[in-house]
């Protein structure tokens, strides 16, 4: 279908559902007077950037189970109480392999052939070094464990392992890194074209653009032996098309630890010294008691490329690393932060409208756009509602979750405890579940809210279309039936409750700040943050004042197949 035909068709569909929504939207009551007061407080008397400086500059980053996140939570609760919020408390949740970690000192330098600073950050839950360690940079290119052991045994003492090729580059950003959604981009969100399948994965750590090497004779032999030994696992340890993940293979890590390597260096993501630090991929393997502890470091693309290119030209490179990391073994829980503005309508005050986002962050920046922004927006929304002394009919509750980056742990635990559990035998809602009205989430950076993802709940279209009314002129006009994934509203939808994430301008969230060392205060857009707090406070108010609770998605049944869509974002 040509682009023109498609946009005509979309306009028709849009028009049709819009036409259908019109009469219903017209029926939806919108408290424009209160929303105007909310906007004035949000734009003219904002405290959001002060909140953000405390959450990031003073208490960031907020890695789950780490020392900072609890201090940040204490500050947050004291602040919520100072605004007069009620029932401010922590609710604990627990998962196995809870392990706190924090970096206390880090320096990585090239010593020879010429001294230079290597732009890098520790990998979360990485072991530290025993003081300053100096050694050679070694490019390790293997297709399987057998090849690693056969080719490098006894040669890796104090070596800095380079498991991936340099990023082919260049990293010039001809396109602006920060973008706002254009009308056509929003149209594509509102009416997405059908999706087609995506390509396979590359060599591990090949964020540097390296292609997977063909399996070597050693690996083919090892794979054949493996196939005989354990038919099911054939191809598990390399020799297969997907290559070999040095950093994700516990046996390889344990072997390298025994070989006395200094550290494994992982290439960065993209350019301009933007260094990732997350380990969203290891499913907590590095937090397991007894996990192999090899120092691991994420290196900026530019520094990583310089080292690899010299090594590939047989110019020996000597590096020196000092990394002090502290582990906080804990069998205690992590927590969620809660507080509320009690409802006042006798018939509705036991019903609850929730707003929230995850409070935890990764560690290489200060967790400003992910997700200090979402937490700050929710706190400011509560401050605005309280400052205006608004008396909602239903209770409005804020929920700030930890453990999101590790798998939505906090919000999933909260929903399970309060609203119901699902397992392979069925769905077991609690009495509280019937009293739940709505949940609104922010976790796509600090960009301006432009609309709402309806997660397939098209019944909300006319309602939210009306609620957006006061904001349409300034850019919030988009609704889509599509889902958006990877964050805490999914915990609500999973148990048949109306949970929503807003559509936000991308700014440079994906291109620069998401899980990188550049996720800091300076990357927040103050006017967008103020606007977002106004939108969230208004939606919470509308949901609290509405005669009916919001329509719900289909009630879920038993869990079937995989865990279903619970990745952190």
147, 340, 351, 370: residue in contact with Zn ion (rule CB under 5 A):
370
| Nearer to Zn ion (CB atom), residue 62 or residue 549 | 62
| Nearer to Zn ion (CB atom), residue 56 or residue 129 | 56
Smallest gap, in angstroms, from Cβ of residue 509 to Zn ion?
9
Alpha-carbon span 305 to 164, nearest angstrom: 10
76, 371, 446, 455: residue in contact with Zn ion (rule CB under 5 A):
371
Sheet with strand 352-358: strands edge to edge: 86-93, 334-341, 395-401, 352-358, 436-441, 499-504, 449-453, 478-480
For tokens 């976790």, the residue is: 443
| Nearer to Zn ion (CB atom), residue 371 or residue 532 | 371
The pair of structure tokens assigned to 393 is: 């009919």
Determine the interface stretch with Zn ion among 182-190, 290-298, 436-444, 497-505 (rule: CB under 5 A).
436-444
What is the DSSP code (8-state) at residue 369?
A: I
Under the criterion CB under 5 A, does residue 360 sit at the interface with Zn ion? no
| Nearer to Zn ion (CB atom), residue 443 or residue 465 | 443
Smallest gap, in angstroms, from Cβ of residue 360 to Zn ion?
8
| Nearer to Zn ion (CB atom), residue 10 or residue 280 | 280
Q: DSSP characters for 157-185?
A: TT-EEE-SPPP-------S-SSB---HHH
| Nearer to Zn ion (CB atom), residue 17 or residue 56 | 56
| Nearer to Zn ion (CB atom), residue 282 or residue 351 | 282
Smallest gap, in angstroms, from Cβ of residue 569 to Zn ion?
4
| Nearer to Zn ion (CB atom), residue 410 or residue 470 | 410
Determine the interface stretch with Zn ion among 299-307, 370-378, 387-395, 406-414 (rule: CB under 5 A).
370-378
Smallest gap, in angstroms, from Cβ of residue 354 to Zn ion?
17
Smallest gap, in angstroms, from Cβ of residue 486 to Zn ion?
8
134 within 8 A of 320, measured Cβ to Cβ:
yes
The pair of structure tokens assigned to 42 is: 């949000």
156 within 8 A of 263, measured Cβ to Cβ:
no
Under the criterion CB under 5 A, does residue 569 sit at the interface with Zn ion? yes
Smallest gap, in angstroms, from Cβ of residue 69 to Zn ion?
14
Instruction: Single out the residue of 181, 88, 91, 185 nearest to residue 445, CA to CA.
Output: 181
Smallest gap, in angstroms, from Cβ of residue 375 to Zn ion?
10
SS (H, E, C) 40-67: HHHHHCCCHHHHHHHHHHHCCCCCCCCH
Under the criterion CB under 5 A, does residue 519 sit at the interface with Zn ion? no
| Nearer to Zn ion (CB atom), residue 165 or residue 337 | 337
Smallest gap, in angstroms, from Cβ of residue 539 to Zn ion?
20
Smallest gap, in angstroms, from Cβ of residue 137 to Zn ion?
33
Smallest gap, in angstroms, from Cβ of residue 361 to Zn ion?
8
447 within 8 A of 504, measured Cβ to Cβ:
yes
Distance of CA 541 to the CA centre of its chain: 27
Smallest gap, in angstroms, from Cβ of residue 452 to Zn ion?
18
Determine the interface stretch with Zn ion among 83-91, 303-311, 369-377, 535-543 (rule: CB under 5 A).
369-377
Alpha-carbon span 381 to 390, nearest angstrom: 12
Q: What track of x and - describes contact with Zn ion for positions 437 through 476 (by CB under 5 A)?
A: ------x---------------------------------
Alpha-carbon span 400 to 381, nearest angstrom: 13
Q: DSSP characters for 486-525?
A: SSTHHHHHTTT--EEEEEE--BTIIIIITTBTT-SGGG--
Q: Please, which residues bridge with residue 453 across strands?
A: 480
Smallest gap, in angstroms, from Cβ of residue 358 to Zn ion?
6
| Nearer to Zn ion (CB atom), residue 160 or residue 401 | 401
77 to each of 88, 299, 360, 399, 487, how far by Cα in Å? 6, 36, 15, 12, 23
Alpha-carbon span 358 to 435, nearest angstrom: 23
511 within 8 A of 270, measured Cβ to Cβ:
yes
| Residue 340 backbone phi and psi in degrees, to 5 | -155, 165
Instruction: Single out the residue of 51, 115, 113 nearest to residue 83, CA to CA.
Output: 51
Most distant pair of Cα atoms in the chain: their distance: 78
Using CB under 5 A, count the residues that bind Zn ion.
Answer: 4
| Nearer to Zn ion (CB atom), residue 549 or residue 566 | 566
Alpha-carbon span 558 to 422, nearest angstrom: 6
Number of neighbours of residue 207 by Cβ within 10 angstroms: 19
303 within 8 A of 119, measured Cβ to Cβ:
yes
Pairing of strands 334-341, 352-358: unpaired
User: Where are any strands of DSSP class E within 57-96?
Assistant: 86-93
Determine the interface stretch with Zn ion among 97-105, 225-233, 364-372, 376-384 (rule: CB under 5 A).
364-372
Determine the interface stretch with Zn ion among 7-15, 95-103, 362-370, 411-419 (rule: CB under 5 A).
362-370
| Nearer to Zn ion (CB atom), residue 226 or residue 361 | 361
The pair of structure tokens assigned to 491 is: 């915990």
Q: Which distant-in-sequence residues (6+ apart) come within 8 Å of 287 by Cβ? A: 97, 98, 99, 125
Determine the interface stretch with Zn ion among 165-173, 201-209, 371-379, 423-431 (rule: CB under 5 A).
371-379
Determine the interface stretch with Zn ion among 17-25, 365-373, 385-393, 537-545 (rule: CB under 5 A).
365-373
| Nearer to Zn ion (CB atom), residue 226 or residue 569 | 569
Smallest gap, in angstroms, from Cβ of residue 502 to Zn ion?
13
Determine the interface stretch with Zn ion among 72-80, 186-194, 435-443, 519-527 (rule: CB under 5 A).
435-443
Q: What track of x and - describes contact with Zn ion for positions 51 through 70 (by CB under 5 A)?
A: --------------------
Smallest gap, in angstroms, from Cβ of residue 443 to Zn ion?
4
Alpha-carbon span 204 to 220, nearest angstrom: 18
Determine the interface stretch with Zn ion among 127-135, 259-267, 363-371, 526-534 (rule: CB under 5 A).
363-371
| Nearer to Zn ion (CB atom), residue 286 or residue 371 | 371
**Interacting residues toward Zn ion by CB under 5 A:** 370-371, 443, 569
């Amino acid at each position: 279908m040509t682009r023109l035909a498609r946009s005509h068709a979309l306009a028709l569909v849009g028009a049709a559902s819009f036409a259908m929504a019109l009469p219903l939207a017209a029926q939806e009551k919108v408290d424009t007077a209160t929303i105007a007061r909310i906007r004035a407080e949000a734009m003219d008397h904002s405290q959001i950037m002060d909140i953000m400086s405390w959450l990031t500059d003073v208490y960031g980053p907020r890695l789950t189970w780490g020392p900072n996140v609890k201090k940040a939570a204490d500050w947050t609760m004291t602040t919520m109480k100072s605004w007069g919020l009620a029932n401010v408390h922590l609710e604990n949740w627990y998962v196995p392999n809870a392990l706190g970690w924090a970096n206390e000192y880090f320096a990585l330098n090239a010593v020879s052939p010429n001294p230079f600073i290597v732009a890098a950050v520790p990998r979360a839950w990485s072991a530290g070094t025993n003081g300053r360690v100096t050694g050679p940079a070694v490019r390790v290119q293997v297709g399987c464990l057998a090849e690693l052991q056969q080719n490098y045994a006894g040669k890796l003492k104090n070596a800095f392992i380079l498991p991936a090729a340099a990023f082919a580059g260049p990293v010039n950003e001809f396109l602006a890194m920060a973008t706002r959604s254009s009308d056509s981009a929003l149209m594509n969100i509102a009416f997405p074209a059908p999706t087609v399948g995506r390509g396979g994965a590359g060599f591990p750590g090949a964020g540097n653009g390296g292609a997977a090497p063909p399996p070597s004779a050693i690996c083919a032999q090892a794979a054949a032996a493996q196939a005989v030994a354990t038919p099911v696992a054939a191809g598990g340890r390399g020799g297969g098309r997907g290559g070999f993940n040095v950093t994700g293979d516990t046996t390889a890590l344990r072997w390298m630890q025994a070989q006395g390597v200094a550290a494994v260096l992982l290439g960065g993501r993209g350019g301009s010294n933007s260094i990732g630090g997350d380990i969203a991929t290891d499913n907590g393997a590095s937090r397991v008691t007894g996990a192999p502890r090899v120092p691991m470091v994420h290196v900026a693309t530019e520094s990583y490329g310089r080292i690899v290119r010299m090594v590939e030209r047989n110019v020996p490179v000597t590096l020196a690393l000092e990394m002090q990391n502290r582990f906080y073994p804990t069998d205690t829980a992590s927590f969620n932060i809660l507080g509320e503005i009690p409802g006042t309508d006798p018939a509705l005050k036991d019903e609850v409208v929730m707003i929230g986002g995850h409070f935890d962050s990764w560690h290489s920046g200060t967790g400003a756009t992910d997700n200090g922004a979402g937490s700050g927006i929710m706190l400011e929304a509560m401050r605005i509602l309280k400052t205006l002394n608004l008396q909602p009919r239903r209770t409005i509750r804020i929920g700030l979750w930890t453990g999101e980056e590790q798998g939505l742990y906090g919000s999933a635990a909260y929903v399970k405890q309060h609203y119901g559990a699902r397992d392979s035998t069925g769905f077991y809602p609690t009495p509280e579940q019937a009293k739940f009205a709505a949940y609104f989430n922010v976790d796509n950076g600090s960009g301006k809210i432009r609309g709402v993802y309806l997660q397939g709940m098209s019944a909300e279209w006319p309602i939210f279309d009306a609620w957006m009314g006061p904001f349409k002129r300034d850019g919030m006009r988009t609704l889509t039936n599509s889902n958006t994934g990877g964050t805490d509203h999914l915990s609500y939808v999973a148990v048949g409750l109306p949970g929503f994430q807003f559509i936000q301008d991308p700014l440079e969230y994906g291109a620069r700040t998401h899980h990188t060392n550049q996720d800091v205060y300076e990357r927040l857009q103050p006017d967008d943050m103020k606007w977002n707090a106004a939108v969230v406070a208004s939606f919470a108010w509308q949901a609290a004042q509405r005669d009916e609770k919001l329509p719900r998605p289909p009630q879920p049944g038993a869990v079937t197949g995989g865990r279903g869509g619970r990745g952190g974002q």
